[in-house]
Amino acid sequence: MSEFMNVAEIFGENVFNDAVMQERLPKDIYKELKRTIQEGKELQRSTADVVAEKMKEWAIEKGATHYSHWFQPLTGATAEKHDAFISTPTEEGKVLMEFSGKALIKGESDASSFPSGGLRATFEARGYTAWDPTSPAFIKKDATGTGAILYIPTAFCSYTGEALDQKTPLLRSMEAIDKQAMRLIRLFGNTSSQKVTPSVGAEQEYFLVDRDKYLKRKDLVFTGRTLFGAMPPKGQELDDHYFGAIRERIALFMKDVNEELWKLGVSAKTQHNEAAPAQHELAPIYAQCNVAVDHNQLIMETLKQVAYRHNLQCVLHEKPFAGVNGSGKHNNWSLTTDDGINLLDPGKTPHQNIQFLLILTCVLKAVDKHAELLRESAADVGNDHRLGANEAPPAIISVYLGAQLEDVLTQLINTGSATSSIKREKLDTGVRALPDFAKDATDRNRTAPLAFTGNKFEFRMVGSRDSVAASTIVLNTIVADAFSEACDVLESADNFELAVHDLIKKYAAEHERIVFSGNGYSQEWVEEAERRGLPNIKTMVEAIPHLVTDKTVNLFEKFGVFTRAELESRAEINYETYAKAINIEARAMIDIASKHIIPAVIKYITSLATSINQVKEACGAVCVDVQNELLAESSELLSDTRDALKLLTERVDRAAEMPHGREKAEYFLREVVPVMNDLRTPVDKLEMIVNKEMWPMPSYGDLLFEV
């Protein structure tokens, strides 16, 4: 019997969404809660009590036994602690199911056990989670469908109110851009919109490998990426995986992922095979940015959980396999008013759309002025293998506008005004039977870190494992800053028309250098960018200092998004994260090389030597030429392996003496990472020599082509 999935029916069935609230909450309570959600009005405690009661009833009907404040500490992942709804047992030994407004609004958590970068010492451990009513609560069921937990999205702060998470500054940055964007659109005569919200659509790339094989790769298990591995005969050179037909095992997995996500109200929309073998992508429909950030976390968790059920492993690392593409996350960002106007929509004739041109040039200014900070927002240990490593996208921040807008910009700069827009043409396929349709006004450029794609900006630098929060916070804040400076000028101008015209021209001319439409992977661009004075920050460790420059601190403090102390703590956390991650990778390499690879190579060499003796006896020295060559070659590689292993072990041991923070991170970057590469090189060559049955782990070919 086959049962069809009724998507419309299951969508959002596990979400305490607006429909459920309307149905279950008393009218006045619903109204007050809506005001909190829409206008940020503080919620009365008595209201929270009613909401909690109704939420509890709903959750229990869905089988929930526990609730959990769900938050995003600075680990990149989410955190949760489950509390059962049960009350203290009565004298008769019975329990009630209880959930108060207080428990809904506020949770307590040991802040000292999460990364705090010095903001919290172990002796001042108190931290709070605070309900974020703008992101709906939801229920997650276990694989059997019987156990369920109510999740309440929250922000996580220290006792003194410092942000210890991604959510708090994200919400602050949303307020900042709302305020400045409202100022700007009011100047252009918009009196109807009440609020401007950033929208985000996060495309998620991932790899799927067979779980049994995965478990035999301790490097993948411990670090999320392969630390050794020779290239298989075939990689992605035939371009036959991207958009290729989806194999049945993967299709079944995707179907289950979609079902789980739809139930959670995540609008999973697009799925396809990506460029590398075993690589795929999932994109939801964009949403308000804090909801999109939560949803992206749910997407990553769901991919992992469902993969497990299918005996697959979802690998989210930015570069799990050398030699084929890594994975990223595209952050599609735009600004929308509460009455549905997309402020990044140029319309058909952008040259006449003055408000759009101002917004566009403000974005150029923001990105040019804070390129280092935007680059930093995508810095992540795994991302060092992508950014600047000749892969999408390069580490140099630039903006791709496309032919139409670039033409408008050039007109503005050259003549002071733009008088025409390149028109959309009909697509001519040369086949009469195919329907005609209008082409986009511009082609695409896949190599640009930030691309204007019709009515949104697509920031392509974010790592696949990373939260989209950091880059969204930066985009929101730097653009808020540019808007604010523009409004300062325009609000005091005598002649608005003239002033806005001058401002657009000024911004376009001053920040034109950030616009680039050529091939971002080429060496010419690296040189050209240097001539233009654009920063090229190749590693995470070199990006981190830009979090705490005066320029950055002033920006964030101006809009109340981060305090200096919060930024310093984030920088500390990033340095530590880097050092710890590389330390784990190096130790995993040492472990695997000593316990698995060297013994396997010795076994191979011994059996080869034994067979040489036997063959020589039977047929003389001429018969063992090849064997002798192999013996010499593998022995030499074995000795290279041992040398690199020794050096790596020494370097890792010495790291313990390094002071924490920047110095330690730099030590790992400069002294440990290169030796890891030195160890990998002979091992990968040995993999090509040693018998497959003797090699202690599945090969790239096994992992990538036998899913």
* Contact residues for ligand ADP, defined by CB under 6 A: 199-201, 203, 270, 283-286, 332-334, 342, 455-456, 458
Cα–Cα nearest to 574, from 546, 551, 535, 541: 541
Considering beta carbons, is residue 319 or 460 the nearer one to ligand ADP? 460
Amino acid identity at 405: L
By the 8 A CB rule, do 62 and 139 touch? yes
Q: Which does 465 bind (CB under 5 to 8 A by kind): ligand ADP, Mg ion, none?
A: none
Q: 270 contacts which partner out of Mg ion, ligand ADP, none, CB within 5 to 8 A by kind?
A: ligand ADP
Residue 455 interaction partner, one of ligand ADP, Mg ion, none, beta carbon < 5-8 Å per kind: ligand ADP
Helix and strand counts by DSSP (H, E) for the chain: 24, 15
φ/ψ bin of 245: left (φ > 0), alpha (ψ from -120 to 50), beta (otherwise) = beta
Nearer to ligand ADP, 116 or 353 (CB): 353
Whose Cβ is closer to ligand ADP: residue 11's or residue 222's? 11
Shortest spacing between CB 345 and ligand ADP, in angstroms = 8
Q: Which of 302/649 has CB closer to ligand ADP?
A: 302
Residue list 294-333, contact with Mg ion (CB under 5 A): none
Q: What's the closest the beta carbon of residue 402 comes to Mg ion, in angstroms?
A: 17
Q: Specify whether the CB–CB gap between 656 and 664 falls below 8 A.
A: no
DSSP annotation string for 324-368? S---BEEEEEEEEETTS-BTT---S-GGG-HHHHHHHHHHHHHHH
* Cβ closest to Mg ion, residue 203 vs residue 372: 203
Smallest distance from the beta carbon of 453 to ligand ADP, in angstroms?
A: 6
Structure tokens at 145: 């469908």
Nearer to Mg ion, 446 or 692 (CB): 446
Q: Residue 384 is which amino acid?
A: D
Torsion angle defined by CA atoms of residues 512, 513, 518 and 523, in that order, rounded to the nearest 10 degrees: 180
* 427/688 with CB nearer ligand ADP: 427
Q: Smallest distance, Å, CB 457 to ligand ADP?
A: 8
Shortest Å, Cβ 461 to Mg ion: 13
Site for Mg ion in 208-267 (CB under 5 A): none
- Look at residue 199 and give the partner it binds from Mg ion, ligand ADP, none, a contact being a CB closer than 5 to 8 Å depending on partner kind: ligand ADP
Q: Which listed option, Mg ion, ligand ADP, none, makes contact with residue 236 (CB within 5 to 8 Å by class)?
A: none
201 binds, among ligand ADP, Mg ion, none (CB under 5 to 8 A by kind): ligand ADP
Report the alpha-carbon distance of residue 5 to residue 425 in Å, rounded: 40
Q: Which of 143-151, 201-209, 215-223, 299-307 is the region at the interface with Mg ion (rule: CB under 5 A)?
A: 201-209
Closer by beta carbon to Mg ion, 273 or else 421: 273
- 459 is written with which tokens? 């920031």
Provide the phi-psi class of 246: left if phi over 0, else alpha when psi is between -120 and 50, else beta.
Answer: beta
**Structure token pair of residue 158:** 């220290």
Stated as kind and residue range, the H or E segment containing 458 is strand 457-459
Q: Name which of ligand ADP, Mg ion, none residue 286 binds, using a CB cut-off of 5 to 8 Å depending on partner kind.
A: ligand ADP
CA neighbours within 13 Å on the CB side: how many for 491?
12
Q: Which stretch binds Mg ion (CB under 5 A): 74-82, 136-144, 197-205, 349-357?
A: 197-205
Nearer CB in complex with ligand ADP: 342/583: 342
Which residue number, 458 or 702, has a Cβ lying nearer to ligand ADP? 458
Residue 334 binding target from ligand ADP, Mg ion, none, CB below 5 to 8 Å by type: ligand ADP
Q: Check residue 25 and give left, alpha or beta (phi > 0: left; psi -120 to 50: alpha).
A: beta
Kindly state the smallest distance separating residue 208's Cβ from ligand ADP, in Å.
Answer: 20
| Position of minimal CB gap to ligand ADP | 201
635: left (phi over 0), alpha (psi -120 to 50) or beta: alpha
CB of 68 within 8 A of CB of 82?
yes
Q: Quick check: 128 and 81 in contact, CB under 8 A?
A: no
Stretch that binds Mg ion, among 78-86, 198-206, 476-484, 526-534 (CB under 5 A): 198-206
Cα four-point dihedral sign 178, 179, 184, 185: positive
* Segment interacting with Mg ion (CB under 5 A) among 3-11, 200-208, 235-243, 502-510: 200-208
Distance CA 10, CA 155 (A): 28
Q: Which residue is nearest to Mg ion (CB)?
A: 203
Q: For strands 64-71 and 79-84, give the pairing.
A: antiparallel
Q: How many residues bind to Mg ion according to rule CB under 5 A?
A: 1
332: partner contacted, choices Mg ion, ligand ADP, none (Cβ within 5-8 A by kind):
ligand ADP
Cα separation, 498 vs 239, in Å, equals: 52
If the CB atoms of residues 116 and 325 are measured against Mg ion, the closer one turns out to be 325
We find the least distance from the C-beta atom of residue 459 to Mg ion, in angstroms, to be 12
Minimum distance of ligand ADP from residue 658's CB (angstroms): 42
| Min dist. Cβ of residue 270 to Mg ion (A) | 8
What is the three-class DSSP state of 296?
Answer: helix
Residue 133, contacted partner among ligand ADP, Mg ion, none, CB below 5-8 A by kind: none
Burial of 554 (0-12, 13-18, 19+ CB in 10 A): exposed
CA angle (294 as vertex; 292, 300 as ends), nearest 5: 100
CB of 239 to ligand ADP, least distance (A): 17
Considering the complex, state which of residue 75 and residue 342 has its C-beta at the smaller distance from ligand ADP.
Answer: 342
294 in helix, strand or coil? helix
Q: Do residues 115 and 571 make contact, with C-beta atoms less than 8 angstroms apart? A: no
CA distance to 207, 303, 349, 597, 684, per residue, from 634 (Å): 32, 41, 67, 12, 11
Residue 607 contacts which entry, ligand ADP, Mg ion, none (Cβ below 5-8 A, type-dependent): none
Measured from the CB of residue 330, what is the shortest distance to Mg ion in angstroms?
6
Residue 376: contacted member of Mg ion, ligand ADP, none (CB under 5 to 8 Å, by partner type): none
Instruction: Tell me which of Mg ion, ligand ADP, none is bound by residue 606, counting a contact when its beta carbon lies within the kind-specific cut-off of 5 to 8 angstroms.
Output: none
Q: Minimum distance from CB of 203 to Mg ion (Å)?
A: 5
d(CA 494, CA 164): 45
Residue 296 or residue 404: which is nearer to ligand ADP going by CB? 296
The binder of 274, among ligand ADP, Mg ion, none, by C-beta within 5 to 8 A per type, is none
Provide, rounded to whole angstroms, the least separation between the CB of residue 218 and ligand ADP. 35
Say how many C-beta atoms besides its own lie within 10 A of residue 324's C-beta.
23
Give the nearer residue to ligand ADP in terms of CB position, either 270 or 607. 270
User: What DSSP letter does each residue of 152-167 carry, written as one string?
Assistant: EEEEEEETT--B-BSH
- Determine phi and psi for 139, rounding to 5 degrees: -115, 130
Residue 377 C-alpha from the chain's centroid: 10
Q: How far is the CB of 533 from ligand ADP (least distance, A)?
A: 30
User: Among residues 332 and 476, whose Cβ is nearest to ligand ADP?
Assistant: 332
CB of 690 to ligand ADP, least distance (A): 42
Using CB under 5 A as the criterion, which residues of the chain lie in contact with Mg ion when the complex forms? 203
